[in-house]
Structure 1
Amino acid sequence: MSGLESLSHGELVELAREQASRIAEQDAVIERQNSQIQVMAAQLSMLMEQFEQQQAELERLRHLVSRNSSNSSMPPSGDDGPGRIPPRKQRAKPSGRGKGKQPGAPGTALRWREEDELDHHEQRFPDGPCACGADLAGAVDLGVVDRYQQHEIPLVSVTVTQYDQHAVACSCGKVHTAARPDGAGGGRVEYGPNLRAYAVYLLVVHFVPVHRVVEILTCLTGAEPSAGFVHSLLRRAARALDVCDFAIRTLITLAFAVCADETPLKVGPATPAEGKKEAKGYLHVACTDLYTHFLLGDRSMKTFRQTVLADLEPGAVAVHDRYHNYDSAQLGDLDHQLCLAHVLRDLAGAAELYPDDTWPVQLADELRELIHRANQARTRGETTLPERIKDLGMRGLRAAVRIGLAATERIDDVRPGARKTLLLLEALRDREDDFLRFTTDLRIPPTSNQAERDLRPSKIQENISGRLTDPARAKDRYLIRGVLSTAVKHAVNPLTVLRGAFSGTTWLPPAARA
């Protein structure tokens, strides 16, 4: 007999009750464990979600750190920032040439000047007594045994000149008074045009802060202008050059192709205006290889309507990046050439994002080849790219775009930079004419590099001096900068332009030849 069969009815009932109680306790333990498991599962799910978020954030940060001037629109000045991955240096193909100056290349060393080219010619003789006691002044001249030419600048020292303007009476009774010299103002004592030109040149061209300009002028000339006087010269020069600035703007409106760009600039109060996140403005440039015009404002459509682009003739070509304001109908009926330098940088980023795909490299190679062929055709004096070469390049571009779209049009592709790459490919597909307009007329540059070059000094100035707290003087500064940039493009010395402006003779750029 088993143990259970030997139990009485009462004992079996008691045993059943004990087992039921024990089962209830176990059920409670299981319930608590299930609750704990559910809590732990929820916590694990939360941890997994946080982990995925952190992974996504880490990937985003890695992507941002990997951005540099070779794969994005970031300026080269940021390439050496903390934690920044510098661009990979591409080794140039060996050219077979040796280092240094090449045979036949023109030299820049000082040359010996002939007699009629000299400013001064000095004969030098030994002086003093000889060891024998005789005076060398009475020695016999044996002729020239050594010749030496020295190029030197004169020691600059401020000179003070008083001008007395006389009045004379003509025999007819009319009185005539002599005019003050060129550049003279209405005061009794002033600095002349040369010193003013030097001060503005240092301020605008070399970004020297006002107090250092004062130090330089004091050390080099002996003059001691005040900081307030030096700063006031920006306004005086801008007023004198206002006519030239207007002429430059007018000449740019007559151009067939105009490069445009804008860059943020720290200007005005450091506290953001109401409704703004940052206290900054934007410096806009419209330029060609002969003219430069700056406009200080913001990035609103209101400022864009004030730029030179709004005054271009219908059918003119604006060369720019893909910022949407440039495509606005408010700027008029313009054709567009989208900057391929920006595209090539974006494709370099796409190649890093999709390292196993070949389409980013193929796209970049096709664009570079078209640019190279266009440069060659322009050198040969042609006006457009040969259709055979253009068609061959376009077939390669279209094929690479199709492959790229097939590789990137995935909803689950959430890697950082994927959307930007997709938008670029869609733009290459939908705006093919705007990317390749330079192949139809070789007067159109394929990039807006000229605009970027003209804007780059503003970033150097910002790195040196920081915020320009007075917006009015900042506008004056870049009006002057645009005039001097135009002068340099015409091989005119900027100091000559500034001296003329302070002397009452404003330089005006010539019109470009058709």
Structure 2
Amino acid sequence: VEAYEKRQVFDIPPVNLIVTEHKSQIKTCPHCGKSNKAVFPESVKYPVQYGPNILASAVYCKNHHFIPYERISEFFEDIMGIKICPATIIRAEKECFQNLECFENIIREKLMISPVIHFDETGMKIEGKRHWLHVASNYKYTCYLPHSKRGAEAIDVMGILPEFKGVAVHDGWKPYNAYDCDHALCNAHLQRELTGIEENYKQQWAKEMNELLTEMKKYTDECKDQIKELDFEQIRALEERFDAIIMKGIEENPQ
């Protein structure tokens, strides 16, 4: 043999259902005649049930990929030979929701001590009715709250912003500004406003500011990737350009 030519095929093995049987011993006391039965594991509640891996996969398909219940049932039967009905998936969702209560509280606590949190809300429908999905997040954690209200009532129910003392980043919507913390305008919204000013009013300063903000973010990302601190002189130069552009904007819009 002079040499080898390699070719690789990546595949997954056939999915086979594994059944684990639990037996609870039943014994009768020879002295008092009382029957005693061993306790099943807490998660084993029924004579026949699906395990956590199957249920977690079904919940993942429904809530992350938004696949309808019937199609999930079809997929599981076609690929794995498992006949799981929509009602079982719904029960698994409810159980997952209850089990995550403790985890949700941990996320809230982590966000509360974060120096910066991003807040937003977006429209959605629940059972055909208008609701709002409220979001509070940082680089690592995200808390969601669906609510029928968009403003302060829902923000108070989420319970993060009313007690938060760091920097709240948002789109400048009025209810956010009512809370006692530092506020910062989301740059994505700011840049959209600048683009609108440039396109509708042909003001050059808006274009320059848009480009500068993009440059600032690029520089910051590069420093993060290289794990190095921001250069003081570079920061000062960027700030001077920022101030100069602001002055140009004020000159063009004196009122």
Aligned position for 1:306: 157
Provide the residue aligned with 2:43 in structure 1.
183
Question: Does structure 2 conserve the Cα–Cα contact (< 8 Å) formed by 1:360 and 1:400?
Answer: no
Structure 2 residue 110 is matched with structure 1 residue 251: yes
SS of residue in 1 equivalent to 2:183: strand
Distance 1:283 1:350 in 2: 29
Measured after TM superposition, the shift of residue 385 of structure 1 is 8.0
Distance in 2 separating the partners of 1:351 and 1:146: 59
Classify 1:146/1:377 alpha carbon distance in 2 versus 1 (closer, same or farther; 3 Å).
closer
Determine if the alignment matches structure 1 residue 361 to structure 2 residue 220: no
1:387-407 residue CA offsets vs partner (Å, 9 max, x unmatched): 62254133223213213414x
- Give 1 or 2: higher strand fraction: 2
Query: How much does 1:158 deviate?
Result: 2.8
Gap change, CA 1:351 and 1:178, over 3 Å in 2? same
- Paired-residue identity, %: 26
Distance 1:375 1:156, change over 3 A: closer
> For the Cα contact (< 8 Å) 1:200–1:233, is it kept in 2?
yes
TM-score (normalizing by structure 2): 0.83
Post-superposition CA distance 1:456-500 (Å, at most 9, x none):
xxxxxxxxxxxxxxxxxxxxxxxxxxxxxxxxxxxxxxxxxxxxx
In structure 2, the residue matched to 1:209 is 68
Give the direction of change, closer, same or farther, for the CA distance of 1:338–1:147 in structure 2 (3 Å limit).
Answer: closer
Q: Does 1:371 align with 2:217?
A: yes
CA–CA separation in structure 1 for the residues paired with 2:13 and 2:142: 34
Aligned to 1:343: 190
Give the direction of change, closer, same or farther, for the CA distance of 1:359–1:402 in structure 2 (3 Å limit). Answer: same
1:228 aligns to what?
A: 87
Q: Secondary structure at the match of 1:266?
A: strand
Equivalences, count: 247
Amino acid at match of 2:153: K
Q: How does 1:84-233 map to 2 (within 5 A)?
A: 150-167=9-26, 177-181=37-41, 183-185=43-45, 187-233=46-92
Give, in whole Å, the separation in 1 of the partners of 2:69 and 2:9: 34
Structure 1 position 304, deviation (Å)? 1.1
Match of 1:325 among 175, 186, 211: 175
Change (3 A) 1:254 1:168: farther
Question: How far off is 1:250 after superposition?
Answer: 1.0
Per the alignment, residue 380 of structure 1 pairs with: 228
How many Å apart are 1:288 and its aligned residue? 1.1
1-structure distance, mates of 2:15, 2:28: 40
Distance 1:311 1:170, change over 3 A: farther
Q: Which amino acid aligns with 2:181?
A: L
Q: 1:223 to 1:377 in 2, by over 3 A?
A: closer
Alpha carbons 2:205, 2:245 under 8 Å: kept: no
Kindly indicate whether the alpha-carbon contact (under 8 Å) linking 1:169 and 1:175 is maintained by their aligned counterparts in 2: yes
Task: Decide whether the 8 Å contact of 1:363 with 1:401 is kept in 2.
Answer: no
Give a deviation string over 1:95-144, Cα, whole Å, max 9, x none.
xxxxxxxxxxxxxxxxxxxxxxxxxxxxxxxxxxxxxxxxxxxxxxxxxx
Per the normalisation by structure 1, the TM-score is 0.44
Give the counterpart letter for 1:321 in structure 2: D
Q: Which amino acid aligns with 2:206?
A: P
C-alpha contact 1:360 1:404 (8 A) present in aligned 2: no
Residues 1:290 and 2:140 aligned together = yes
CA apart distance, 1:377: 5.4
* Change in 2 beyond 3 A, CA 1:399/1:149: closer
Residue 223 to residue 370, structure 1, CA distance change in 2 (3 Å): closer
Matches within 5 A, 1:466-481: none
Give per-residue Cα distances to partners, 1:293-349, cap 9 Å, x unaligned.
Answer: 10111212111112322232x2x01111111111113xxx31111111111111112
CA gap of 1:210–1:397, structure 2 versus 1, over 3 A, is same
Q: Deviations over 1:252-299 (max 9, x none)?
A: 11111111111000113x3xxxxxxxx411101111111111011121
Bigger Rg, structure 1 or 2: 1
Contact 2:26 2:38 in 1 (8 A): yes
8 Å contact 1:210–1:230 — kept in the other structure?
yes
Residue 22 of structure 2 aligns to which amino acid in structure 1?
Y
Cα separation, 1, equivalents of 2:140 and 2:58: 25
CA apart distance, 1:236 = 1.0
Paired residue type of 1:344: Q
What aligned pairs does 1:337-486 form with structure 2 within 5 A after superposition? 337-355=184-202, 357-376=203-222, 379-382=227-230, 388-406=236-254
Bigger relative contact order, structure 1 or 2 (CA pairs below 8 A, ≥6 apart)? 1
Instruction: Name the structure 2 match of 1:6.
Output: none
SS of the aligned residue for 1:302 comes to: helix
8 Å contact kept, 1:374–1:385: no
Report the aligned-residue RMSD. 3.1
Which residue, 269, 280, 290 being the options, matches 2:130?
Answer: 280
Residues 375, 403 of structure 1: alpha-carbon distance in 2 compared, 3 angstrom cutoff: farther
How far the C-alpha of 1:224 sits from its partner, in A, is: 1.1
How many Å apart are 1:182 and its aligned residue?
6.4
The CA distance in 2 between the partners of 1:358 and 1:399, in whole Å, is 12
Q: In 2 relative to 1, CA 318–218 (structure 1 residues): closer, same or farther, beyond 3 Å?
A: same
